[in-house]
């Protein structure tokens, strides 16, 4: 078997192997995407829960402050009744009125914090629903991944063995080039030379459609173990056997 035949065999097996892996990769990406979404929702929930607890704590503190003011006002009212001079009465009354005004402000702040707590609780509940739905989607994606793995795992292993065997007989330099091109072009390491017009020696790369010099085409008709690349996309070039045979006779 010539080097070109060995490369073409590897190319076919590599393409099948990558095709199966692509199916698995797509299913894995779906699971990963759901994991990212779930993670983002959990972070958001954690932040909102922290804000809710802070708002709740502020509400409690404001309620304690309001209660202390109320108790102070009650004591001052007793002092009003016991006051002996007009000046003393006026001073106590002024403090009572001041505390009442502050109490109103504190009550308004407490109400605002309570409303914020309720709003955050609603947002958290909505996030919990979204998380539950996302978890269901992830379970479906994970099930599909497991099914695909079970469905094609044996074939994947078989193709990997075939690829290893096919690659083992190819010279190190050629296999290194093949692997680079396969990784660069998602498995499309090789490209057929298209014969546009044999009479005018017009040939092109089937992958990038750029013209191929006839000298490169001619090199592929020889029996030498030579790898010819497209001058533009760098893929490994090959000729259809029919075209190669016809050109070799000339």
CATH of the domain at 44: 1.10.287.1490
d(CA 132, CA 56): 26
Does pTM surpass 0.85?
Answer: no
- In this structure, are 117 and 200 located in the same domain? no
Examine the fold and report which residue of 168, 189, 224 is the final residue of a domain before the chain moves on. 168
pLDDT at residue 250 above 70? no
- In this structure, are 24 and 119 located in the same domain? yes
- In this structure, are 11 and 121 located in the same domain? yes
SS (H, E, C) the chain: CCHHHHHHHHHHHHHHHHHHHHHHHHHHHHHHHHHHHHHHHHHHHHHHHHHHHHHHHHHHHHHHHHHHHHHHHHHHHHHHHHCCCHHHHHHHHHHHHHHHHHHHHHHHHHHHHHHHHHHHHHHHHHHHHHHHHHHHHHHHHHHHHHHHHHHHHHHHHHHHHHHHHHHHCCCHHHHHHHHHHHHHCCCCCEEEEEEEECCCCEEEECCCCCEECHHHHHHCCCCCCCCCECCCCCCEEECCHHHHHHHHHC
Cβ neighbours around 48 below 10 Å, total: 18
- In this structure, are 29 and 98 located in the same domain? yes
- In this structure, are 157 and 224 located in the same domain? no
- In this structure, are 126 and 244 located in the same domain? no
For the chain, how many structural domains are there in total?
2
- In this structure, are 216 and 135 located in the same domain? no
pLDDT in tens, 128-166: 999 999 999 999 999 999 999 998 999 999 999 999 999
Longest dimension (CA), the chain: 132
Of 137, 67, 157, the closest CA to residue 106 belongs to 67
Domain with 207, as residue range(s), is 175-249
pLDDT in tens, 222-238: 766 789 999 999 999 99
d(CA 186, CA 204): 21
Q: What is the mean pLDDT of residues 42-62?
A: 97
- Residue-level pLDDT at 246: 76
Which letter, b or e, does each residue of 8-40 get, where b requires 16 or more Cβ atoms within 10 Å of its Cβ?
A: bbbbebbbbbbebbeebeebbebbeebeeebee
- In this structure, are 80 and 158 located in the same domain? yes
């Amino acid at each position: 078997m010539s080097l070109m035949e060995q490369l073409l065999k590897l190319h076919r097996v590599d393409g099948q192997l990558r095709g199966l892996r692509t199916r698995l990769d797509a299913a894995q990406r779906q699971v990963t995407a759901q994991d990212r979404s779930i993670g983002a929702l959990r972070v958001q929930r954690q932040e909102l829960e922290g804000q809710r607890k802070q708002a709740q704590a502020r509400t409690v503190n404001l309620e304690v402050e309001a209660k202390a003011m109320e108790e102070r006002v009650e004591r001052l009212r007793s002092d009003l009744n016991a006051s002996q001079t007009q000046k003393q009465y006026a001073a106590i009354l002024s403090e009572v009125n001041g505390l009442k005004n502050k109490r109103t402000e504190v009550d308004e702040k407490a109400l605002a914090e309570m409303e914020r707590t309720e709003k955050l609780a609603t947002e958290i509940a909505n996030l919990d629903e979204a998380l539950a739905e996302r978890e269901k989607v992830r379970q479906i994606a994970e099930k599909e991944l497991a099914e695909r793995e079970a469905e094609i795992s044996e074939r994947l292993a078989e193709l990997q063995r075939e690829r290893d065997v096919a690659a083992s007989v190819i010279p190190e330099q050629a296999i290194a080039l093949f692997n680079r091109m396969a990784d660069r072009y998602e498995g499309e390491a090789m490209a057929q030379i298209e014969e546009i017009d044999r009479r005018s020696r017009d040939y092109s790369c089937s992958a990038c459609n750029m013209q191929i010099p006839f000298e490169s085409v001619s090199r592929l008709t020889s029996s030498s173990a030579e790898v010819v690349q497209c001058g533009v996309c760098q893929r490994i070039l090959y000729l259809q056997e029919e075209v190669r045979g016809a050109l070799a006779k000339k």
